[in-house]
Structure 1
Amino acid sequence: MAYIDGFVIAVPTANKQAFIDHANKVDVLFKELGATRIIECWGDDVPNGKLTDFRRAVQAKDDETVAFSWIEWPDKATRDAAMGRIEELMKTDERFSPENNPMPFDGKRMIFGGFAPVVEV
């Protein structure tokens, strides 16, 4: 069964194209490592909640937009193997190099996790 990695980040709104460019470089590498599908979404209708919301989750500022992304893997083993290679590739593959492809957002405020699907319609 598939395995999903989900991500929520706050991106400076002025960095939208830089976010897209960054994702286009990095996402190809995830595909090479076995991902079957990658979706990068730019916040369009992200309401403020009364108790919690996406903006609060990533401490988004007024000049930032929330982005939501996910990576679909064929299974958890493929995902775990790929993630095990990421650190090595950050040193050897220019697409992952922070010098050649810097993150256009504050990675310290990213929330992420791996999820095992339980219902698929």
Structure 2
Amino acid sequence: MNTVYKAQLLQKRKWRIRKKVTGTAARPRLSVKFSGKHIYAQLVNDDAGATLVFLSTLDAEVRKSKVKGNVSGAKSLGLAFAAKAKAAGLASVVFDRNGRPYHGRVKTFAEAAREGGLQF
């Protein structure tokens, strides 16, 4: 299976999920993106087209704890993201896995965010 075809399949899954998952002001969409080295998470209000909370492994407060883009990094970033979202007054979200299968880093991040107090 070549890489172009894999990318096309990922894009199809992403679009299929995004048709069903939308974020509102009361219940924003928790979008998670994983690159080879880093993890990016944000809460998005799709009605207003605004990002409410953003955190990644590139942020200064997260870099101090030497977090990387692996499974253990996903866990610590999930806990930190949940704390930041709760500080912004957001407790209930809709999870958008961005076309990725629900295992590995995606599953670890989601479970850590739930552990931190987010409901989805």
Same fold (TM over 0.5): no
- Where relative contact order (Cα < 8 A, 6+ residues apart) is larger, the structure is 1
Larger Rg, first or second structure (1 or 2): 1
Structure showing the higher helix proportion among its residues: 2
Structure showing the higher strand proportion among its residues: 1
The TM-score normalised by the length of structure 2 is 0.31
The TM-score normalised by the length of structure 1 is 0.30
